[in-house]
Structure 1
């Protein structure tokens, strides 16, 4: 009854997770929350998700507020994140997102994953990283959500499972093929998120068109010029090109088919911070010296970049 009141009888659905539906709710003090209502016969999944949420405390992970564990009423209550998902903002809302904001979102997500992989007492593998599971607040700060199929890893950093669950377009092919789940599985999925951030194209193929992963893989085989052609036109100015190429190279490394050739999440976070710093400094130079680009030997720079 309490949850019916909080959610106005489950009146506003926000989305669907792996094992239930998520509704908007209002607590007695007026604060907004998200209520994940589990479907029947998923007590184990509820217990696992709740345990993961209880272990995690990071500013870029959706915060647990409470839960209901009554029979036939399994629910997890988390903070309400106002802007919806990165998937909505990138592909449906039609708003302009500057490169610096996209880099900040990438940095925040990578830091949350780095925390989950290497800074928690019990390691967590999310195993369903995708733009739909990255929520954004009013200031477009990122919060990782939906721990429905996450795994707590006690000792060995590799898990084998016969039950391969997840979003196929973002799933590590090695996990899909062999059921072998490691932190590098999250790294692979995050590589696809990076691609979507810089291209604004979806991983899922639609209307007979290739998804961004296949487009990117083909472009890599023919050189950097083809890769540049995939970048979102809203952010692909000449001044941003080196940073965008740096993100694309990092995405390629994350998506390598050999586990040991993929970077650790801590390295991914460090490189994204460096790329963001480069982008911010480049913008400051343009602001302080708007004439500086004309004074520099532009022809040399242009011939150098065109030879890549």
Structure 2
């Protein structure tokens, strides 16, 4: 019997396939889509939420690129209390797991948001450390291992719920960053967040995004994401810390690659915008692969990558 359900951080998930934060709103937006069911989704990572409401960045905010999307939404959201009072009561918690994405511009803000959501029925929180640190000139928390660890420590002090730390791929050494947040109290890791990028209009000679730069997502970043997950897994497995892999997943084959690289679960983002029912199709493809290979669960795939023995350090031709 094939069983796609998984248990991670003491939480039961119907499926190893989730909807990534920023792409599924606050979990209620997809309920009107014909054929969509939260029961097919392992988890819905809710939109990044700050303490106070945010209007986000000026337009344009989303632009297509070759094999991906550039976005610079700027964390537009109604604020933590509005999410708790107005959005969470509308969620059918028995159908899937819903996990808030905590975003902040200071350590104190992260800690306070976690304190507020600790009092809700949500089973876990995802800590987005790719946010800019306003007290340090705007550099992202996640690109500085010391600052990332301090954020996680502050959040850990305010909740007993599992903390899933979303790692930035823009840091120098993602494995070292992973080690630091694990030691600071992370229960699981998400890898990876978007890559920073830019697009230019050659006629106006200006960036197409109103904020000049944004996060690149979609199939274009999948090879990078796979390598980052593999690198993080070398650290995470030593501490028995699970990884949620994401970055360009658009098929069951993509998801399976992430499992082999070290992920226990995957999340789909950009591809959901094209096909809202994609998670169900990916579940079916994973089931077919497990059956064809005489396996019964995704856990039998996690970290089973067989590396080539003859390798060179240089990646060029």
TM-score by length of structure 1 reads 0.31
Higher relative contact order (Cα pairs below 8 Å, separated by 6+ residues):
2
Q: Higher helix fraction: Structure 1 or Structure 2?
A: 1
